[in-house]
Amino acid sequence: MDKFRMIFQFFQSNQESFMNGICGIMALASTQMYSAFDFNCPCLPHYNLAYGLGILLVPPFILFLLGFVLNNNVSMLAEECRRPRGRRGKDPAVLRYMFCSMAQRAMIAPVVWVSVTLLDGKCITCAFCTSVPVETLGNASHPRLSHGEIQRILARIPCKEIYNGQQVIANEVAVRYLRCISQALGWCFVLLMTTLAFLVRSLRPCFSQAAFLKSRYWSHYIDIERKLFDETCAEHARSFAKVCIQQFFEGMNTDLVAAGCHLPRKAPADTGEAAEKLLGITDQGTMNMALKSWHRCKPPLQLYPPALPTGNGWAGEGQPPTHPSAPQRETAAYYSWV
């Protein structure tokens, strides 16, 4: 249990670790789904290809979309793309980095599904059983069989219990031939995906290290800023609700005291703390205006020190702070009578 707890804490350490854990779980789930899937080829000439390629390609597409749905950065990326420019510009490099990062993680489960399917060979056997070279592997000159009849016989190759074309081509020969081709395609696909992943991971930082670091930094910043904003809004909502409820019960208490029901109770000590957390926003309209302002014109990413107060007010208001002038150097000359 301690090991599982440590793994779970590692997944919760940051956003990337969490998404890597989710993608790993989806990859394992894809293999379990394929092993539990009951593959039943229709064994008909016009349906085998659609069924085999559908099982090979449709579930990976669904897993790819599911990988995007489970990624928390999808809504953040859509919000960053659709928001008005406002006081903060939008960097296309950061948006591309976020999209590529999500796409790479979402591709793990589909790649595992395609690899397992090709290595198993059932889909390729079902889809291309009518393309078996009978001239090479069987008896193409069998009498009294037209081309359509041969196609119907070959379409029953995946269904061993109803196959009746041993005089044309042996079932074991055709299945072994198609399965070898499928496994060769599977290993080539695994090698291709591994090579692409290696090139993306190793060569991309070599050509644009500065741009890569910049995009990654601001991608993390957008994620952290959104989380802090949600936490601040949740804390403000909690404080706002607490003050409203306390004022309601204080008003009810005053009415009951005026009616002579019971004595008033002492106000809670944390009322002042909750009021301080409201940050001056004490009505619904002002809060809605603050939320719209955050979406339309986010503050620029430029920090500046607060202005220094003077006798008549705040110095440097409306202009950037100026640095104090350097002290003048004084030179002393000494004269001696010799």
- The 10s digit of each residue's pLDDT in 137-159 is 877 666 577 778 888 888 999 99
- The 10s digit of each residue's pLDDT in 3-38 is 555 655 555 555 566 666 777 788 888 888 888 888
| pLDDT computed for residue 80 by the predictor | 86
Higher pLDDT, 218 or 257: 218
| pLDDT computed for residue 188 by the predictor | 96
Q: How confident is the model at residue 102 (pLDDT cuts 50, 70, 90)?
A: confident
- The 10s digit of each residue's pLDDT in 256-302 is 666 655 544 555 556 667 777 787 788 888 899 989 988 888 888 88
Say if residue 181's pLDDT is above 70.
Answer: yes
Name beta bridge partners: 309.
Answer: 314
- The 10s digit of each residue's pLDDT in 187-212 is 999 999 999 988 887 877 777 778 88
**Closest C-alpha among 180, 286, 197 to residue 240:** 286
Sign of the alpha-carbon torsion through 117, 118, 120, 123: positive
CA 91 vs CA 249, 262, 270: distances in Å: 50, 63, 43
Burial of 53 (0-12, 13-18, 19+ CB in 10 A): middle
Q: What is the mean pLDDT of the chain?
A: 79
Higher pLDDT, 69 or 181: 181
The full set of domain ranges for the chain reads 1-207, 210-255
| pLDDT computed for residue 27 by the predictor | 81
Q: Give the whole-angstrom CA distance, residue 13 versus residue 73.
A: 16
Q: How confident is the model at residue 105 (pLDDT cuts 50, 70, 90)?
A: confident
Q: In 48-170, where does DSSP find H-type helix? A: 48-70, 73-82, 92-106, 108-120, 122-127, 134-137, 147-154
Higher pLDDT, 99 or 139: 99
